[in-house]
Amino acid sequence: MNMKVVGATAVAMVGLSVLGWKQLEGEANDLARSAVSVSNPAPGPTGTSHQVIEAHPVAGSNYPTSLTLRHPFPEVPLTREGMDFEDDPGFAESRAEQQWLDLHGYPNLEQWQAYSVAPNEKLREAAAAGDGVAGAMLDGRLLNTDPKAQERLVDAGVDGNLFALQLLASYQAGSRDGDLVAAYAVSRVSELRGDLRAAIGREVMLPAPLTPDQRLLGEAEAMRLNEEMNRMYFEKHGTPAEFLPRPIGHS
């Protein structure tokens, strides 16, 4: 299969498939548990020099940010500006798609290489400096040990970080205690919110095809979760969520 069509879903699976499932606690408990345990529902969100990064969410960064913290990876660019398409971990095929990936929290090649081997504390520092990519990759690691990690990934997804949702979907698809229906549902939400490559990546991500009944259940859960995330966005920002489709084949 041409790796260009796999998309960042397959990338997101690296380092996550051996993680185990932990139940959630906190504010997003009902939302996230239904997304990740749908089969067993339970009752009831740049630069390359030494710089200071402004404290604002970057594609759904959900760690406290600071105006004074320096990014611990000052040599790592925060966007794909000037980068080639070759070896892009998000499989961009155009400048427009590169910009879309940056906007929706997908790591560029240098971020992926640096952050994949960085200790958790360095990723936490980068997230505190406003780096949403670092925050999502950290939470992807912490899904097995931090009951708030999934809540933060969902919240990041609410604010447009679709890479965070793909990490969550990949965790469910690859974890020994995961839920394939939940993996399908979360991946479908990413697709509904603009990632038009998610459908192809989803087929690669799932270790086995879903039965017709599982697919129907996954679709229903995806619609419900997407509506709930829309509600969360409106409550947070006071305006309806708007989605930018991923530009495929555009120059």
58-68 pLDDT, tens digit per residue, is 455 566 665 56
Asked if residue 55 has pLDDT above 90, the reply is: no
C-alpha triplet 196, 23, 114: angle, nearest 5°: 55
Task: Give domain status of residue 150, yes or no.
Answer: yes
φ/ψ (deg, to 5) at 6: -70, -40
In contact, 173 and 13? CB cutoff 8 Å:
yes
CB within 8 Å of 4: residues ≥ 6 apart: 91, 93
Q: What is the pLDDT of residues 15-46, one digit of tens each?
A: 433 333 333 333 333 444 444 444 333 333 33
107 falls within a domain: yes
Quick check: is 220 in a domain?
yes
Indicate whether 247 belongs to any domain.
no
Domain that holds residue 145: 3-41+52-237
Report yes or no on 47 lying in a domain: no
Task: Report how far apart the first and last C-alpha atoms of the chain are (Å, whole number).
Answer: 23
Q: By the 8 A CB rule, do 24 and 147 touch?
A: yes
Report if residue 249 sits inside a domain: no
Q: Is 250 a member of any domain?
A: no
Model pLDDT, residue 67: 56
Residues 6+ apart with CB under 8 A from 8: 89, 90, 91, 101, 106, 163, 166, 197, 201
113, part of any domain: yes
Return the structure tokens found at 173. Answer: 């698809």
How many domains, in total, are found in the chain? 1
Kindly report the pTM of this predicted structure. Answer: 0.77
The residues, ordered by sequence, that sit 6+ positions from 187 with a Cβ below 8 Å of its Cβ are 9, 165, 166, 169, 198, 201, 202, 205
What is the four-CA torsion angle of 29, 124, 130, 232, rounded to 10 degrees?
Answer: 0
Nearest residue to 184 via CA among 161, 136, 216, 141:
216
The rounded distance, in Å, linking the Cα atoms of 34 and 43 is 9
Q: In this predicted model, what pLDDT tens digit does every residue of 119-177 receive, in sequence order?
A: 999 999 999 999 999 999 999 999 999 989 999 999 999 999 999 999 999 999 999 87
pLDDT tens digit sequence for 210-239: 999 999 999 999 999 999 999 999 999 999
